[in-house]
Structure 1
Amino acid sequence: MDTDKKNNEIHTVSLSELFQSFEKSLGFKNKIKWNIAILIILYHVLGIYWSYKYAFPAKWQTLAFTLAMYMFAGFGLTAGVHKVWSHRAFKVNLPLHLILLAAYASAGQNSIYQWVLDHRVHHKYSDTEADPHNANRGLFFSHIGWLLTKKNELVLSRGKQIDMSDITDDPLLRFFNKYFTYFKLLFCYILPFYINVYILGETWQCTIAWQWFIRFLSVFHTELTVNSLAHTFGTRPYNKEIVPTQNKFVSLLTFGEGTHNFHHAFPYDYRSGEQFDYFNLTRLTIDFFSKIGWAYDLKAATPAMIKSMSQRLGDGTRIDRSPNVEPEKVN
């Protein structure tokens, strides 16, 4: 009995040392969360296999519904957890609040509390060692590596200093966070499956391919491009002294979130960009809800503020399209 126990202890230590050695070989500064890393890897592998085997043939209704769910989840991320709850860029009435909660749950992310905390720390300590997805640690880390590793002590300590009272004091958000796992399962997996199979008449295998894998992973990775691609490639027309950039490709994927240099310059602005900026479906949707009275107190930087910052700190790539002014390059 003692011998078996001793052998098990030796085996455990050896396995731990093996993991540590592997972490060092990858150059990771933080310890890998092996349970999360393995789960994410397996989800991707299974998703590729399942989609290859069952995604086609698919009904056009399935493809349309998948796109609709992609856009719905995207709105929950861009307008909901990002602009309403993280930055308080505008306010919403109860019906729109409930829609945003359902939309966010359909994206299958972390709880609103965790998402908001990570994002507020990111903005306050952007691209430093206190940033959860510091872009200076490389494209892989800022995209997905930060989710596979434990947060360093600086990120954790700075996170404890962030005021989250607006989230914890909101009774609706408290209820949503308490039962978030159930809401996520319902809106991200169960309801899309039920609608696609029992209302649209798709096979369950094809439904799983499009809803649980293709749609979910598309939303997951397009959101992460804001942390990675929009902190690496593009211009800096508003502030060349920060890492975030303007990236048209990211804007196309995320309905306007790629105007990231603007966003970090004016994080409270609900538009995340200027009037003429890249494809910004989120801003158009918020404007629609504002017109019908469901969204209000929209915050935005004034043209004078934007022009002043771009002239002082920008890289010279901003085009001034103010009314009655010919487009010109700001130097």
Structure 2
Amino acid sequence: MYRGTQTVGTCVENPTINAEDTEVEREMTDDVFDHTYREKIGPKPPAKIVWRNVILMSLLHLSAVYGILLIPLAKPATLVWACLCFTMSALGVTAGAHRLWSHRSYKAKVPLRIFLAVANTMAFQNDIYEWARDHRAHHKYSETDADPHNAMRGFFFAHIGWLLMRKHPDVIEKGKKLDLSDLHADKVVMFQRRHYKKLILCMCFIVPTVIPWYFWGESLYIAIYVPCLLRYALVLNATWLVNSAAHMFGNRPYDKNINPRENKFVAIGAIGEGFHNYHHTFPYDYTSSEFGIKYNFTTCFIDLMCYLGLASDCKRVSKDTIKARQLRTGDGSHRSG
């Protein structure tokens, strides 16, 4: 079983991996691409638009645009609070739903898992169980009909369109066959799933709005539009850019045979999640990048949690493995840092 070598207070790479072994034995394999999957022959099923989602997303983005206009009127403390809410929401997705629960790339103690679940609820991107299930399907069936946000269907679909229409039947069929026993066994994940509607009302909408209004007298109007709705829309789009832009724009230094790319701008906006060619090549690496903390706030956060004793067993790819892979399948654009 592949486990990252760990020392007290830090997460380091495992130096024992064979340089040619890029699909090492791990605790879970449902995030490894399935080369045996074949799309069904014949016409594609017609797209079925979910008009409720279209209306809600349109209203949210119109509200976010209006929120931008209100930024000059907001108190400095409110803008700082909005940034804190953005960061917390993003960590709930990146360090939580993505690296911890989707890929099991590190282990987290109960207090950290609770914090990440709360932060994930503030992000309101479906509950952890559903997010992790869809993300594992995205890796296992990347850019096929069974991929929830298949980038082969275009930028708009990969970015937001997949949320505005019914899932392709293959997404539902293959998603049901994934091994999600680890998520079922996680009491924090299942608690969030059971109480999700009440929790998102509190964490995504009430808390970001009430705190600036109550504690430093911000206008309730501005509190609703800036730290609540604008912040929410920004976190959504930062995450969606990983599905869209990072699958279309950038280089492929690790595997030129797949579409995911290295996109520094997405990495900055999504606090470390834009090194996507690397991530799809080595999905079990807790840093999601060859370069550790560079442009990668999420890795900084996980390293801090390791230092505090709240995280451990961080899985990392050895330099030899990375070099061997980029020489064998990369597009020649690899740089040392």
TM-score in terms of structure 2 length: 0.84
Q: Is the 8 A contact 2:48 2:166 kept in 1?
A: yes
Shift in Å at residue 276 of structure 1? Answer: 6.0
Does residue 1:190 correspond to 2:215, yes or no? no
Does residue 1:34 correspond to 2:51, yes or no? yes
Does residue 1:251 correspond to 2:264, yes or no? no
Shift in Å at residue 320 of structure 1? Answer: 3.4
Structure-2 separation of matches of 1:68 and 1:215:
10
Structure-1 separation of matches of 2:313 and 2:164:
38
Does residue 1:145 correspond to 2:161, yes or no? yes
Match of 1:132 among 119, 129, 148: 148
* Residues 112-138 of structure 1 deviation map (CA, whole Å, 9 limit, x = unaligned): 111111101000000111111111110
RMSD: 1.7
Does residue 1:160 correspond to 2:173, yes or no? no
Structure-1 separation of matches of 2:245 and 2:98:
18
Partner letter of residue 156 of structure 1? Answer: I
Structure-2 separation of matches of 1:244 and 1:145:
18
Match of 1:97 among 108, 113, 120: 113
Match of 2:322 among 300, 306, 309: 306
Structure-2 separation of matches of 1:167 and 1:218:
27
Partner letter of residue 84 of structure 1? Answer: L
Shift in Å at residue 48 of structure 1? Answer: 2.9
1:240 is matched with which residue? 256
* Residues 297-331 of structure 1 deviation map (CA, whole Å, 9 limit, x = unaligned): 1001111111111110001111236xxxxxxxxxx
Shift in Å at residue 284 of structure 1? Answer: 1.1
Structure-1 separation of matches of 2:63 and 2:95:
31
Q: Is the 8 A contact 1:251 1:257 kept in 2?
A: yes
Greater Rg over alpha carbons, structure: 1
2:3 is matched with which residue? none
Instruction: Choose between structure 1 and 2: higher helix proportion.
Output: 1
Across the two proteins, how many residue pairs are aligned to each other?
Answer: 294
Shift in Å at residue 56 of structure 1? Answer: 3.7
Superposition map of 1:207-286 within 5 A = 207-275=223-291, 278-286=294-302
2:8 is matched with which residue? none
Shift in Å at residue 183 of structure 1? Answer: 1.3
Does residue 1:297 correspond to 2:304, yes or no? no
Partner letter of residue 321 of structure 2? Answer: M
Structure-1 separation of matches of 2:292 and 2:196:
37
* Residues 106-160 of structure 1 deviation map (CA, whole Å, 9 limit, x = unaligned): 1122111111111010000001111111111100000000000101111111111
For structure 2, which runs of at least 5 residues remain unmatched after alignment? 1-43
Q: Is the 8 A contact 2:63 2:225 kept in 1?
A: no
Shift in Å at residue 210 of structure 1? Answer: 0.6
Structure-2 separation of matches of 1:281 and 1:295:
16
Percent identity over the alignment?
Answer: 41
Q: Is the 8 A contact 1:237 1:261 kept in 2?
A: yes
Q: Is the 8 A contact 1:56 1:206 kept in 2?
A: no
Structure-2 separation of matches of 1:73 and 1:290:
20
Q: Which structure would you say has the larger RCO, counting Cα contacts within 8 Å and 6 or more residues apart?
A: 2
